[in-house]
Amino acid sequence: MVSVSFGIASKLSHLKGADFLSSSDLSSEEMKALFDLSIQFKDENRRIDLGNRVLGLIFSKASTRTRVSFQVAMARLGGQTIDLNPQISQLGRGEPLKDTARVLSRYCDVLAIRTYAHQGLKEYASWASVPVINALTDLEHPCQALADYLTMYECFGELQGQTIAYVGDGNNVANSLMICGALLGVNVQIASPKGFEPLPSIVKKARQLISSDSKINLSNNPIDAVRGANAIYTDVWASMGQEKEKFERLNAFKNFCVGKEMLNEAENNAIVMHCLPAHRGEEISEEVFECDASRIFDQAENRLHVQQALLAIVLGGL
């Protein structure tokens, strides 16, 4: 287990009240301190009681991990969660987002929002007077990337110089992995079929954030991407909101299933990662999903610990 560093509060206390909309909203130093705090929570070496604060979840898309891990994280901090979605609130009947954000800010101490357009999330943040956390948009999934890099940190004891290969759609998960990886000094190698690469604007943003000599490489060849990697990562081929493209995508991605032959090209101690939910036989084979190198359920668990740390930080509990 990696050691716990001192000075967590001094590195993070200025983030009280801050939004977390993108992986680029934290510096590498802040991310590392957040990992240390997450490990303290995970090892039960730290208790923070925020005293009855309330988290509001506004989820316009389905969720198992994010919803439950936020609820449990808030409970462990002594707080409560209110779980809303457009179907059960007036949002679904057309109440403007700017009114919803201002009303919920009068009841809740922090909001975690899962929606489609990233612009919608930014609008919530601009109208809310409490911190807003990105619980997934079409553009980014920054809480996921924190859990993913914490998992790599636990496996390898360091992140700088490690290589993660992401095989699949250049989607929200890939975007946050690139940005977060750039900040943490991790080499990120992405392989996607032609036409499904990450957005050039996000690749450019991530490359501008590289502080060490790490690299972000894009390719259309999964074998090139996984060669020598310390971690192989994949995600669904059709994200939420892209259901109508499922059959077109099944065809476009048919050579991008992470199977044993890809794992054999990676480092001997390489780990297998997936944000879940997974489609076995599509983006990942059953054999690789269930193999000894899989750290998929450690990633899922770490969602809880990083989000507990994030909530403690933005709610000023340090």
Interface with ligand CP includes 10 (CB under 6 A)?
no
Using alpha carbons, list the distances in angstroms from residue 179 to 20, 23, 37, 68. Answer: 14, 6, 21, 25
- DSSP string for residues in 245-274: GHHHHHHHTTT--B-HHHHHHS-TT-EEEE
Both tokens assigned to 117? 């357009």
Both tokens assigned to 61? 């898309």
Q: What torsion, rounded to 10 degrees, do the Cα atoms 70, 37, 146, 262 define?
A: -120
Tokens 């993913």 locate to 148
Interface with ligand CP includes 276 (CB under 6 A)?
yes
Distance CA 177, CA 180 (A): 5
Both tokens assigned to 236? 């669904």
Q: How many residues bind ligand CP (CB under 6 A)?
A: 8
Tokens 């890099």 locate to 149
What is the number of other CB atoms lying within 10 angstroms of the CB of residue 132? 27
Query: For ligand NVA, which residue of 19, 140, 148, 235 counts as binding (CB under 6 A)?
Result: 235
Interface with ligand CP includes 278 (CB under 6 A)?
no
119 annotated active-site: no
Identify the bridge partners of residue 188 per DSSP, sorted by sequence position.
164, 216
How many residues comprise the chain?
A: 318
Identify the bridge partners of residue 81 per DSSP, sorted by sequence position.
55
Q: What torsion, rounded to 10 degrees, do the Cα atoms 10, 11, 16, 19 define?
A: 180
Applying CB under 6 A, which part among 59-67, 75-83, 176-184, 264-272 lies near ligand CP? 59-67
Which of 144, 189, 299, 307 is an active site residue? Answer: 144
207 annotated active-site: no
Nearest approach, Cβ of residue 69 and ligand CP (Å) = 8
**Site string (142-171) toward ligand NVA, x via CB under 6 A:** -----------------------------x
Query: For ligand NVA, which residue of 8, 202, 226, 236 counts as binding (CB under 6 A)?
Result: 236
235 annotated active-site: yes
- Sites for ligand CP among residues 120-159 (CB under 6 A): 136, 144
Both tokens assigned to 101? 């954000």
Closer CB to ligand NVA, residue 47 or residue 246? Answer: 246
Interface with ligand CP includes 229 (CB under 6 A)?
no
Which of 53, 67, 114, 249 is an active site residue? Answer: 114
Nearest approach, Cβ of residue 3 and ligand CP (Å) = 28
Q: What residues are labeled active site?
A: 114, 141, 144, 235, 275, 303
Which residues are at the interface with ligand NVA (CB under 6 A)?
136, 171-173, 235-236, 239-240, 275
Which residues are at the interface with ligand CP (CB under 6 A)?
63-66, 136, 144, 275-276
